[in-house]
Amino acid sequence: MKLHFALGVVLASALLTGCVTGTRNVDIAPSKYTNDKTASGQVYIAVVEDKRAFEAKPASPSTPSVNGDLAKTSKDKLATLIGRQRNGYGMAMGDVALPKDQTVQTEMKALLKEGLESRGYTVTDNKNAPIKVNVDIEKFWAWFSPGMFAVSFEADLACSIAFTDTKGNQTFKVVGYGLNKGQVASDANWALAYQRALDDFLKNLDKTLDDAKL
């Protein structure tokens, strides 16, 4: 009986965590976001920088890390990483990364574009636009906590936004959080946690801009 139970635990753990070696590429996107268009003007998103702090062996899975030697990992590669896979015992394994040619900078820029344009702004590549935005990404990471019969996927976003227009400069922080409880560590379950975090970020961005009267 004990042997059967132990084998059941191992099998359940394997099914819940799925493949944990190598790199898992996950495509993420928010839901279609809508809002009352109360603003206008052209916005140029000038700079989006990845300011996340990676650690070699963090105590918490919510802290960014890399599968390999952190000191030898290029900034270009770090910019593609958005999580770590883990086995049934919670041990960090392979990386979770964005699809080819995507980075946290490109994803954050696209997210801000959606949020700003939902308010009525026009996001442009014109560097002489009257409104400029600079962004520091502080958090863009997902992790999961393995369990006996379910896995909790969590995604955390945070960035500092400097908004400059004819009235001056304002800087504010916007965050987003997503939780998804799934049965297997699939791409879809990772993506759903991120989708909820991205949606939450857009709602918080709206509230922040409302409070700032922008």
Task: Report the pLDDT value the prediction gives residue 194, as an integer from 0 to 100.
Answer: 97
41 by Cβ neighbours in 10 Å (0-12 / 13-18 / 19+) ranks as: middle
Q: Which helix (H) or strand (E) holds 7?
A: helix 2-17
Task: Report the pLDDT value the prediction gives residue 14, as an integer from 0 to 100.
Answer: 40
Query: Percent of the chain beyond pLDDT 90?
Result: 74
**Mean pLDDT, range 99-107, rounded to an integer:** 97
Over the stretch 186-208, which tens digit does the pLDDT of each residue have? 899 999 999 999 999 999 999 99
The count of other CB atoms within 10 Å of the CB of residue 158 is 19
**Mean pLDDT, range 152-166, rounded to an integer:** 96
pLDDT for residue 36 is more than 90: no
Over the stretch 118-129, which tens digit does the pLDDT of each residue have? 999 999 999 999
Task: Report the pLDDT value the prediction gives residue 1, as an integer from 0 to 100.
Answer: 42
- For the entire predicted model, the pTM comes to 0.88
Task: Report the pLDDT value the prediction gives residue 87, as an integer from 0 to 100.
Answer: 82
Q: What residues are paired with 96 via a beta bridge? A: 24, 83
Q: What is the mean pLDDT of the chain?
A: 89
